Amino acid sequence: MPDLTTRTRQILAELGAGDPFLVDKAADGAADGALVARSPIDGSTLGRLAAQTPDDVAAAVTRAQAAFEQWRVVPAPVRGHLVRELGELLRENKELLGELVSIEAGKIRSEGLGEVQEMIDICEFAVGLSRQLHGLTIASERPGHRMMEQWHPLGVVGVISAFNFPVAVWSWNAALALVAGDAVVWKPSEKTLLTALGCQALLAEAARRVGAPADIAQVVVGDAAVGEALVDDPRVPLVSATGSTRMGKLVAPRVAARLGRCLLELGGNNAAIVAPSADLDLAVRGIVFAAVGTAGQRCTSLRRVIVHESVHDQLVTRLSKAYGTLSIGSPLDPATLVGPLVDAAATEGFLAAVEQAQADGGRLVTGGGRADGVPGGEYVVPAVVDMPAQTDIVRQETFAPLLYVLTYRDLGEAIALHNEVAQGLSSAIFTLDVREAETFTSAVGSDCGIANVNIGTSGAEIGGAFGGEKETGGGRESGSDAWKAYMRRATNTINYSTELPLAQGVEFG
Ligand code: NAD
């Protein structure tokens, strides 16, 4: 097996990405302004890329704008051919791109591959959608008149993405935007640059094959300053930004200041209620995957369990046992279930939160420290902390495998605890009682964008609209009618009579 750097370069070459930005120096550090691509598996440097500047972003938007002007007149079903081709290329390169996701983001192999599968799924969805960008026909109050709605391409869509879904988030946005007739300029996370170059190479090849404009989708790499240049560009009518609530609070006012549109997919603090009637086998499996999968680094990761007092002890004992069997190590090892955290700051955040929870009176049930015997990388032991109350630390999103357990007596109290956080992304209830399940999913239940029954909080399918309320940002991506965010609506009234009646019966002259 070659070292990670060599393997990364092989994969990039096979994906057709070559070394377009790679600065061929192995030295660490970014003193000369270069970006350093690292693997969280062992901290090794995978390559160095020249960071782009705000001027480069402006030039990319100019090229994207020109491509948009050609693309918007291509019929939507023909635009679908581009996304169909991208889906085919992703199918052919699933293993390679999945491996690169594992190397650069630290996901276990199955989750790296799952992320690419999600890209393939959204491409299929978008191809079907390319023939279904329907408007309404609306009854007019005036004789001899017809009203209708049309959905038109919007323009250049700016996509800012987070490290933890380095490729899927781009595809959720790009697949819909491209069939909608838009151009895309993507700023990936500075922690996952190389997967972005791989995706861009596949998209460029798909565009070449179907004769789509070469500049219809572009990547700009850099830190927040590069993101800000995209955010501030008035030629970008929609900024779709995925990342922390902190980032969203910086981005939203800037886009609002120029009256642009934002689609925000921000942090979560997801909870599951475990009711007295719950199937505990199912609940334990659902909880462990949701809390520990991707080393707790999903926006939908389970962070809080709110369990009825009658099943509290039993659940905690079973969770502790299940956590004891988790294999921690390199995500490239097929036996591993828990890979590394993305960087040292993430480990510090995890350790500090575990300490604070105990200072708040929490009892550490299992885990909580660095993982012994795993070389390199940022490996921690997933933790469960039994809390006496929902303290400040529990209300925060700690982006790591840290699960808090809270106890309740009646469902009203459980729902109140559930909703008493600033974030509103994903939620679940484990119950066999139909009244409880329906109450949880009703208007007086969970206040999240996603509310599940008898499954965990993570692992959404692309067919549904994905996103959340409150500090999660309110955006919806992926399935259902999320495509409407990427288009502009025009209301048309057509007079096919010889009269000119005015609406509301107004007489004029
Ligand atoms: P982050 O906020 O640090 O970075 C996300 C992206 O925003 C990066 O590309 C970064 O360069 C960019 N950015 C940062 N500041 C910016 C600014 N001022 N202007 C423009 N761009 C800026 O997030 P992260 O650590 O990469 O990802 C983890 C976070 O993302 C978690 O909070 C997680 O819940 C959230 N997330 C949410 C979803 C969702 O769909 N709701 C999905 C994935 C991740």
For 347, residues 6+ apart whose C-beta sits below 8 A from its C-beta are 341, 370, 378, 380, 400
Q: What is the pLDDT of residue 22?
A: 63
Q: What is the pLDDT of residue 2?
A: 79
Q: Is 160 in the pocket of ligand 1 (CB under 6 A)?
A: yes
CA 376/CA 54 separation, integer angstroms = 35
Q: Whose CA is nearest to atom 43 of ligand 1?
A: 299
Quick one: tokens of 494?
Answer: 């057509």
To which residue do tokens 């070469």 refer? 214
Q: Is 254 in the pocket of ligand 1 (CB under 6 A)?
A: no
Backbone torsions φ then ψ of 223, nearest 5 degrees: -90, -155
- Between the CA of 225 and the centroid of ligand 1 the distance, in Å, is 14
Region of residue 333 (phi > 0: left; psi between -120 and 50: alpha; otherwise: beta): beta
- Between the CA of 243 and the centroid of ligand 1 the distance, in Å, is 2
Backbone torsions φ then ψ of 171, nearest 5 degrees: -70, -35
Ligand 1 atom at minimum distance from 267 CA: 34
- Between the CA of 224 and the centroid of ligand 1 the distance, in Å, is 10
300-345 pLDDT per residue, tens: 999 999 999 999 999 999 999 999 999 999 999 999 999 999 999 9
Q: What is the pLDDT of residue 438?
A: 98
Q: Whose CA is nearest to atom 41 of ligand 1?
A: 265
Q: What's 482's DSSP letter?
A: G
Q: Is 187 in the pocket of ligand 1 (CB under 6 A)?
A: yes
- Between the CA of 497 and the centroid of ligand 1 the distance, in Å, is 54
Q: Is 378 in the pocket of ligand 1 (CB under 6 A)?
A: no
Q: What is the pLDDT of residue 145?
A: 98
* Neighbouring C-beta atoms of residue 207, cutoff 10 Å: 20
Contact yes or no for 42/377 (Cβ under 8 A) = yes
CA 486/CA 240 separation, integer angstroms = 10
Beta strands at 156-160 and 145-153: parallel, antiparallel or unpaired = unpaired
Is 85 among the catalytic positions?
no
Consecutive 10-residue averages of pLDDT for the chain (509 residues) = 89 86 50 82 91 95 98 98 98 98 97 98 98 96 97 98 98 98 98 96 98 97 94 98 98 98 98 98 98 98 98 98 97 96 97 98 97 89 98 98 98 98 98 98 98 96 97 97 98 98 93
Of the candidates 380, 383, 379, 381, the residue with the CA atom closest to the CA atom of residue 394: 383
Of 265, 378, 397, 477, the catalytic one is 265
159-174 pLDDT per residue, tens: 999 999 999 999 999 9
Q: Is 289 in the pocket of ligand 1 (CB under 6 A)?
A: no
Contact yes or no for 237/66 (Cβ under 8 A) = no
- Between the CA of 289 and the centroid of ligand 1 the distance, in Å, is 23
Q: Whose CA is nearest to atom 21 of ligand 1?
A: 227
ipTM: 0.98
Q: Whose CA is nearest to atom 30 of ligand 1?
A: 243
User: Is the pTM of the predicted complex or chain greater than 0.90?
Assistant: yes
Q: Which of 159, 232, 242, 265 to mutate to test the pocket of ligand 1 (most atoms within 8 A of CB)?
A: 242
